[in-house]
Structure 1
Amino acid sequence: MKKRINELIRLLSETFEGEPWYGQSVMRKLENVPYKIGYKTCVPDSHSVAEILGHLIAWKNYVARKLNKDENCQIVIDSNQDWPSIEIKSRDEWENLKRELVAAQSEIYNFLDKIENDNFLDEKVKGKNYTYEYLLRGVIHHDIYHLGQIGLIESQLKRKEQESGVFKA
């Protein structure tokens, strides 16, 4: 039986592309972010929405590799691997970045679909001192945390860019 795995899949999906109780999911929020502000920041030396997406992709890929028991997979916090420098110059680049995010999320779903029972969730992640359930709950929390940042950046830039026509009223 995989009751806990199915619940984690539901939570992952709700947060990423569904309708969570707290507002918009990651993908719904990104539908409202025009590509022309994807590389902009509110505060100098802060991350852009595009960089946050690169960060989410990096960690989703990390989770997928850990689920596949890749003991050697590591991310150095605050490195270029953790926070890739991304600049969006066109709508196509923006759409490609979002597709890359969806693909990374899909890798997690694909893995979990193949698991036959919840016992896997209680196993320790290879090379770590936490379980696969903890890892999966962490990626959900990570999405929610950065969803808040994306919303803040969007609202701040919306005020700044309203007159430029980037945001349609």
Structure 2
Amino acid sequence: MMLESTRLLNQIRQAFDGEPWSGPSLRATLGGLTAAQAAQHPVAGAHSIWEIVLHIPVWSAVVSQRLAGNVLPPLADSEDWPPQPQTPTEADWQASLAALQAAHEQLLTVGATVADGALDIPLGPTFENSEGPGYTPYVMLHGVAQHYLYHAGQIALLRKAVA
């Protein structure tokens, strides 16, 4: 019988670069995009693909830190949504994709240390949930897969507008 923590990490892997039943993974949705395409703002008031790619690892890192037992201060808007480069280059775009990959891999490494018995133990109040006992590792790990696929859907729509 597979451990629940292993199943959760498998869902995160599927959402990131596997074959989730809901549609293309985050990485598949990003495949083949150029820096110029990723930097466009085709929808007024919406983030660019690049900004989304910079945002996702912020929250992967937050979850990694919380799972490791760290208490974090609130994120400033500029930390939650880092700005894309003023003059986008392919090298910058590839570096952003590499940072996304690295944050994902770090999350999987930290997530693998969470025992099944700890999945339902609240991590304590934090800036994202200051009332009550805080989120559990179970909720946070599910949230990562949801976050990946939520933004994959946004990226899929933005891709149509920049194609």
Deviating runs (4+, > 3 A) in structure 1? Answer: none
Unaligned runs of 5+ in 1: 159-169
Distance 1:18 1:73, change over 3 A: farther
Say what the alpha-carbon RMSD is for the aligned residues. 1.7
Distance 1:75 1:123 in 2: 24
Matches within 5 A, 1:58-73: 58-73=58-73
Please tell me the residue identity of whatever aligns with 1:126. Answer: G
CA contact (8 A) 1:69 1:126 kept: no
Unaligned runs of 5+ in 2: 127-133
Distance 1:120 1:139 in 2: 17
TM-score (norm 1): 0.85
Percent identity over paired residues: 26
Match of 1:6 in 2: 6
Match of 1:45 in 2: 45
Distance 1:73 1:67 in 2: 15
Distance 1:122 1:2, change over 3 A: farther
Asked which structure has the greater CA Rg, the reply is 1
Distance 1:37 1:94 in 2: 10
Distance 2:113 2:69 in 1: 14
TM-score (norm 2): 0.88
User: Aligned residues, how many?
Assistant: 155
Residue 112 of structure 2: SS of its match in structure 1? Answer: helix
Instruction: Tell me whether 1:132 sits opposite 2:107 in the alignment.
Output: no
CA contact (8 A) 2:41 2:48 kept: yes
